[in-house]
Amino acid sequence: MNNKTETILIIIGFILAVASLFLAPLLFGIIAIVLCVVALVKNSKINTLSNGKKWLAYISIVLAIISMAYAVLIVKKQVTGLIDNAKQELDTAAVKSRDAKRLADAKILNITIQLYTLDAETLPTAKDNAGNFKTWKLTKNSTDFTQLLSTLKSVDSTLDIPADPLDPGRSYEYFSDGEKYTIRTFFESDGKENCQPVKQNYCKYEITGSLAQIINQQ
Per-residue DSSP letters for the chain?
--HHHHHHHHHHHHHHHHHTTTS-HHHHHHHHHHHHHHHHHHHHHH--S-HHHHHHHHHHHHHHHHHHHHHHHHHHHHHHHHHHHHHHHHHHHHHHHHHHHHHHHHHHHHHHHHHHHHHHSS----B-TTS-B-EEEE-TTSHHHHHHHHHHHTT-TT------TTTTTS-EEEEE-SSEEEEEEEESSS--TTEEEEETTEEEEEEEEEHHHHHHT-
pLDDT tens, N- to C-terminus, the chain (218 residues): 457 788 888 899 899 988 888 888 888 889 989 999 988 888 887 777 788 888 998 999 999 999 999 989 988 888 888 888 888 888 889 999 999 999 999 999 999 999 999 999 999 999 999 999 999 999 998 999 999 999 999 999 999 999 999 999 999 999 999 999 999 999 998 766 778 888 888 899 999 999 999 988 76
pTM: 0.68
* Residue ranges of domains in the chain: 3-84, 97-216
